[in-house]
Structure 1
Amino acid sequence: MIVNLVMIVKNEERCLEKCLSAAAPFVDNIVIADSGSTDGTIEIAKKFGAHVYDFPWVNDFSEARNFALGHSERDHGGEIHLILDADEYLKNDEESNPKALRDFIDMMYDRQGMRWLGLIKREDSYPNGDEIDRSITQIQRILPAGMRYKGSIHEQINAKVVNKMSPLYAEHDGYLQEGKGQRNLEYLIEALKKEPNYPYYNYQMAITLRNLKREEESLPYFRTFFRFSGKKEIRQAPYWTDGIMRYLYTLYDMGTEESLEEAGDIMGKVQYDFTRNPDFFFYSGLFYMKLVLKNTEKYQHLLPYIEKSYLKCLSLGEVERPEGVIGTGSFKAAYNLGTWYEVSGQKEKALHYYKQAAEQGYKKAEERIKVL
C-alpha cells in the first residue's frame, strides 16, 4: 500500500527539517498544504521531495487537512495517510519503525478493510514551574483513504470506526513554544458560537485559557465540558480524561476553599472512572495536602489520605492510559511520598523513597538525598 505523510504548515522552519528527517523513512510520499509561509518552510519541504500545495487560509483547520488529503489521494496514490504536525518527531527504534508501521497497516486491512483509524502515542513536553514535565497522549494519526476531518479548530476525524493503537511513537515540543494559545483562542470563540455546549470545544477553550494563565476565565468552560460529557462515547474519549484532570488542577491552582470544595465534588463524581489511573491518585495526594494546609482544624482527619494516595500511585505503576503524566506512577509519586515522610519526621522512609525516585533519574530526589 502507498503510505503518504500529509501535513499542513505555515512558517515552520524551526522544526520542519527535524520532523521530515524522522518521518521520511516511514512513507512513500510527502504531501504538504502550505497556508502562506514567509520563512524557509517551503525550501525545507522541497529538500525532502515534498509535494507542496498552496492553500489560501480560510480559518478552518479541517478544510486545510482535507485539501491536503484530497491531493494525496488524487495526485499521489495515497491509500494510507500518516498525519503529523511540524513539531512532532517520529521515533525510529525497535518498536516504532517503518516495518512495524507496514505490518500494522497490513493487519488492519486484513481485519477491517479501509474502515479503521490508527492511533499513535505522542510524548508531550511542557513547562511546569522550574521543570519540564512529559505526558503521553493517544491520538488518531493513521487514516485510510476516504477519511476526512471536521471542526474548524482542534479538528477530529468524521467517522465512527475501530480505533487501534499502532506501534508508532512521536515526541512533541510545541507546548514549549509561545504564541499558539492566543491564535487558537480566536478560532475557538467562533467555533463555540456555533456549538456552545459541545464538550470537546469547551474542553479546548478551557485548557487554552488555562495555558494562558487565565484560570478564572477557564472555569465556565470546564464546567460546561463536564456538564455535557455524560454520554458513554464522550467519557471513553481520551480528551475526557485529560479534561477532568486539567479541571481539577485548575481548581487546585486557584487554591481557595471554595475551589477545593468544587474539586472534591468532582473527584467524588468521577472516582470510579479513575480507579486504575495513577494521575488521579497523584492529584489526590496534592489535593489532600492543600486542603489540610488551608484549614487544618477542619480537615486534619484527611492527613492519612496523603500517604495512601501516593502509595496507591506506586502500586498502580505507569499503567497504560489514554492520557497521562510520566512519573505519576513512579518517580514523581515516590518523590512526593519522600517529602511527606520527611516533613512528618520519618527520615528512613523518606530516604527510601527518595532513592527510589533517584534511581529513575529524578534530579530533585538526588538533591534531597544530599541534604538528608
Structure 2
Amino acid sequence: MLNISLVMIVKNEENNLATCLSSVNKFVDEIIVVDTGSIDNTKEIAVRHGAIVYDYEWSNDFAAARNFALTKSTSRWNLILDADEQILRWDKEKVDSLLLKEQSIGKVCIKNKFVQNNEERYSQTYISRLLPKGMVYQGKIHEQVVSDLPRLEFPIEILHTGYSETDKSKRNIAILNEELRSDSNNGYIHYQLARQYKKMDLLEEAEASFREAYLQVNSLEGYFTDLVVNYIYTLIELKKFYSVFEIVDQMNVPLRNSPDFNFVTGLFYMHFVLSDTEENIDFIPLIERAYLICIALGEQQQREIVIGTGSFLAAYNLGVYYEMFNQKDKAKNYYKLSAKYNYAPAKLRLMNLK
C-alpha cells in the first residue's frame, strides 16, 4: 500500500503549526510531531489536527531529532516539513506515479519569502524532503539526507516564511561554529554560516565565510550557484569591486546559463560604474549586456533562484537603464514586459513616462 507520513520536529510553533498541518493533511496518512520543549500551545494544536505527538529532549542536534522522529513513522514514505512551511501545490497523480517507481529520494521545490530593497521577493530551491523508509540525516544543523539513492524532482511546491526570524540566526551560528570546530574544511558549513551572517548584516564575517566556502565547494554541488551569487552580493555591499572582478572572470563560463549570476553581474557593473563614473564609464555597456542575457535565459526557461532574475526584475532594470540614457521607447518596452508579471515598480515607471 502506498502511504506517506508527515514527520516534523517543532518547538513553540503555535503561530505557524495550524496553517502548516491544514495545508498538508489531505496528502498524508499519518502525522508525526516531535516536540523539543514547547511552552506554548504547539502540542495541543498538533493533537487537534490528528498528529501523534512525542516529546524529545533537545541536544543541539537537528539530525538526531529528525532521526528520532523518523523512527516513529509507520509509512513507506516520509514527508519532512518545518512548522513555518505550507503546501502550495501537490500534483497527486504524478507524485503517486513517481512513488510507485524505483526507490528514490524526492526533491521538492521550496519557495522562500524574503525582503530585499524593501520589496517582498521569493527564491526557490529543490531540497530532498520525500524520503523512503530507512533514510537518516547527518549534521547538527542544515542537516542532509545520507543516501546513494537517485534524487528525483517531484511536482510539490512548499512555501517557507520563516527567514525573517533573527533569533534563529543566532542559535544557528552557534551550532554551525561548533560543527566547524570538528570539521574546519567543510565548505557546506562555511556556506551556511555565511548565509546566517549575511542575514544578520554581519557583512565582513559573511565575506570571510563565503570565501572559505567558495574555495572548498565543488562547482557541481546543487547550492554552488547560490553560494557564488550571494558572495558577489556581499562583496558589492562591501564595495570590494576588484574581488568581484576575479570571481566574475572565473565563473563566466561555469555559470553562464544562470539568470541569477548574470543578474548580480549586471548589478555589480552598475555599482562599479557609479563608484567612479568618469573612470569606469567604459563598463556601462556591460550593464545592458548582463540584463539582456538574463531575459534570453528566462525565455529559454533556465531555472532561477530568485524568481524574476530571468524575467520581470531584469526587464525592470533594463527599463531603468534605457530611461537613464533617454531611450524612452526601449524603456517603455521593458517596463511593459516587467509589468506583465504584475511588478508594481514597473507599472509606476510606465505611468511616470506617460
Q: Do these two structures clear the TM 0.5 threshold for a shared fold by scoring above it?
A: yes
Classify 1:178/1:218 alpha carbon distance in 2 versus 1 (closer, same or farther; 3 Å).
closer
Q: Look up the SS of the partner of 2:256 in the other structure.
A: coil
Give the match for residue 30 of structure 2.
29
SS in 2 for 1:317: helix
TM-superposed CA distance for 1:220, in Å, is 1.5
What RMSD in Å do the two structures reach over aligned CA positions? 1.3
Residue matched to 2:308: 327
2:319 maps to which of 338, 341, 354:
338
SS in 2 for 1:188: helix
Identity across matched positions, percent: 40
**Aligned pairs (5 A) from 1:202-221:** 202-221=190-209
Partner of 2:273: 292
Kindly provide the CA deviation profile for residues 44-97 of structure 1, in whole angstroms up to 9, marking residues without a partner as x: 10011111110000010000000000111xxxx2211100111111124xxx23
Q: Aligned-pair distance for 1:320?
A: 4.2
1:174 paired to 2:162: yes
Whether the 8 Å CA contact 2:259–2:302 is kept in 1: the answer is: no
2:108 counterpart SS class: strand
Distance in 2 (alpha carbons) for counterparts of 1:349 and 1:241? 31
Whether the 8 Å CA contact 1:26–1:97 is kept in 2: the answer is: no
Q: Distance in 2 between matches of 1:352 and 1:262?
A: 34
> 2:335 aligns to what?
354
Structure 1, unaligned runs of 5 or more: none
Letter of the 1:106 counterpart? L
Which residue of the partner structure matches residue 15 of structure 1? Answer: 16
SS in 1 for 2:253: helix
One of 236, 247, 252 as aligned partner of 1:271: 252
Displacement of 1:342 in angstroms is 0.6
Structure 1 counterpart of 2:6: 5
Number of the residue aligned with 2:91: 97
Q: Deviations over 1:17-38 (max 9, x none)?
A: 1100111111110011110011
Query: Partner residue of 1:236?
Result: 220
Aligned to 2:132: 144
Structure-2-length-normalised TM-score? 0.96
Matched with 2:56 is 55
Equivalent residue, structure 2, for 1:121: 109
CA contact (8 A) 1:91 1:97 kept: no
- The separation in 2 between residues aligned to 1:44 and 1:141, in whole angstroms, is 23
- 1:245 and 2:246 correspond: no
For residue 280 of structure 2, what is the amino acid of its counterpart? Y
1:69 equivalent to 2:70? Answer yes
Unaligned runs of 5+ in 2: none
Q: Distance in 1 between matches of 2:202 and 2:162?
A: 20
Q: How far off its partner does 1:316 sit?
A: 0.9
AA of the residue aligned to 1:63: A
CA distance in 1, matches of 2:115, 2:169: 14
Give the secondary-structure state (helix, strand or coil) at the position aligned to 2:305. strand
Pick which of 173-182 and 40-49 moved more. Answer: 173-182
CA distance in 2: counterparts of 1:50 and 1:60, whole angstroms: 23
Give me the whole-angstrom Cα distance separating, in 1, the residues matched to 2:229 and 2:247. Answer: 10
Secondary structure (helix, strand or coil) at the match of 2:346 reads helix
Q: Contact 2:166/2:200 (CA < 8 Å) preserved in 1?
A: no
Deviation at 1:178, TM superposition (A): 3.6
TM-superposed deviation, 1:177:
3.4
Alpha-carbon separation, structure 2, partners of 1:236 and 1:140: 17
CA shift at 1:302, angstroms? 1.3
Q: Is the 8 A contact 1:134 1:325 kept in 2?
A: yes
Query: Which residue does 1:82 correspond to in 2?
Result: 79
The CA distance in 2 between the partners of 1:85 and 1:104, in whole Å, is 23
1:311 alignment partner in structure 2: 292
Per the alignment, residue 100 of structure 2 pairs with 106
TM-score with structure 1 setting the length:
0.92
Offset of residue 142 of structure 1:
0.6
